[in-house]
Amino acid sequence: MYIQADTDVYCVIGNPVRHSLSPILHTFMFEYYGINAVYVAFEVQHIKEAIEGIKALGIKGANITVPFKNKAFELIDETDEDSSFLQSINTIKNINGKLYGYNTDFLGFKDMFMEYTKFYSEEDVVVVLGAGGVSVSVIYALYKLGIKRIFLLNRDITKAKNIQKKFNDKIEIEVGNLNDKEIINKADVIINCTSVGLKGNETPINTNWINESIVVDVIYFDTPLLKAAKQKGLTTINGMDMFIGQAYYAFKIWTGIDFSKEAAQNLLGDMEL
């Protein structure tokens, strides 16, 4: 399909954003479902002007990524209950010049993690590593899935304690640091939400301490942590399905269409990451 004068524009706004898989995925889906729209990446310095640009240019929808998810939340016109709690959005829909914000990151994680919760018991030790923005979305998903108690390990304890306070009436959180051998030892599930492993060979925790645990990473390829867990014969899940899940919900908000997750997996699975 050619780009025409009436082609709708969607985008992802972030910095850095040149590595993003969102343009490939959404453009593919627009084509697949015969929608006259394109999806491009904008690497921006100033989020306020960028959000105003969505309105000024009539951009139909946007994804917001690092480091603007919190700031964007403050700049839009309407939010829903989930994004209000999270104080963070990754999806905007422009309806006649009014910007509606949503958080589909937690939904993507929730769907990906649903399989595990089928056999979750309240005695299970669920460990989250990291206390940044992604961790908040992941913990919210865990809460929505009915998990009652987690351990939150982070380098900076103060940040972990702030999250503990935020979830005060929702989910019980025990806070520790990344060197907590005892907790890592008895973990049934470990979910890495730190950025360690995005580049290089580092792991956020000492992998010798992991016993019988499912190891999950929100990063969308097999990180050194996941590779080490695989070598131990453990079940691992990388963040590709979470990524596809957040895109699935964004696409649904924009178009009303449930895109084929299988088609998305086939598309991105063949790609050199």
Shortest Å, Cβ 44 to ligand ATR: 17
Task: Rank residues 153 and 214 by Cβ distance to ligand ATR and give the closer one.
Answer: 153
Cα–Cα distance for residue pair 268/248, rounded to 1 Å? 14
Tell whether residue 224 is a contact of ligand ATR (CB under 6 A): no
Among 204, 239, 244, 255, binds ligand ATR (CB under 6 A): 204
Cα 236 to Cα 38, 136, 215, distances in angstroms: 34, 21, 5
3-state secondary structure of 126: strand
Rounded to a whole number of angstroms, the minimum distance from the CB of residue 194 to ligand ATR is: 3
Which residue sits closest to ligand ATR, CB atoms considered? 132
> Mind telling me the catalytic residues?
69
| Sign, Cα dihedral of 47, 23, 140, 185 | negative
130 annotated binding-site participant? yes
- Structure tokens belonging to residue 155: 């380098």
For residue 31 the two structure tokens come to: 């084509």
By beta-carbon proximity to ligand ATR, the closer residue of 22 and 154 is: 154
Looking at residues 25 to 84 of the shown chain, list those that interact with ligand ATR (rule: CB under 6 A).
Answer: 66
Task: Report H helices in 15-130.
Answer: 22-32, 47-57, 69-75, 81-86, 105-117
| Pairwise CA distance, residues 189 & 136, whole Å | 17
The DSSP code sequence of 204-215 is SS-GGG--S-EE
Nearest distance from residue 158's CB to ligand ATR, in Å? 9
15 makes contact with ligand ATR (CB under 6 A): no
Question: Could you tell me how many helices (H) and strands (E) the chain has, helices first?
Answer: 11, 12
Interface map 138-177 toward ligand ATR (x if CB under 6 A): ----------------xxx--x------------------
In the complex with ligand ATR, the residue whose CB is nearer, 131 or 150, is 131
Q: Is 53 known to sit in a ligand binding site?
A: no
Instruction: By CB under 6 A, tell whether 260 contacts ligand ATR.
Output: no
Distance between CA 161 and CA 173 in Å, rounded?
9
Please, what's the largest Cα pairwise distance for the chain?
A: 61
- Give contact residues for ligand ATR (rule: CB under 6 A): 66, 130-135, 154-156, 159, 178, 193-196, 204
Show binding-site residues: 20-22, 65, 81, 90, 105, 130-134, 218, 220, 239, 246
